[in-house]
Amino acid sequence: MSFERVCSTDEVGDDQAHAAVVGGLELAVARDGDEFFAVQDQCTHAAIPLSEGEVVDCAIECWLHGSAFDLRTGKPTVLPATEPVATFPVEVRDGDVYVDTTRTLNGVTPS
């Protein structure tokens, strides 16, 4: 495992993800209360950054056509996207968010 610091917890809004590049991957770091998540920052319907959309009910929405992805599983919960987005392990230490981009939690290979 190789966790890298991405941001402080304060930089992640309740309804807006924090965009970052870690290990060469574009990530959207989002929160649901005190729980933090990291997904590849790219809608699987088209290459739109998910971090530009809203975070609602533990899902991140794509602003272009309205797909939403469950932050826990990466699975789309709203069409038109049908493929899951890659999710990554997250740790919170001393108010900072760390992400391991060397593996995914849901087995999805980042594009």
Binding site for ligand FES (CB under 6 A): 43, 45-46, 48, 62, 64-65, 67, 80-81
Residue 17 or 62: the one with the smaller Cβ distance to ligand FES is 62
Residue 2: Cβ-neighbour burial (10 angstroms; 0-12, 13-18, 19+): exposed
Residue 80 or 89: the one with the smaller Cβ distance to ligand FES is 80
Cα gap 2→76, rounded to integer Å? 27
As measured in angstroms, the least distance from the Cβ of 33 to ligand FES is 25
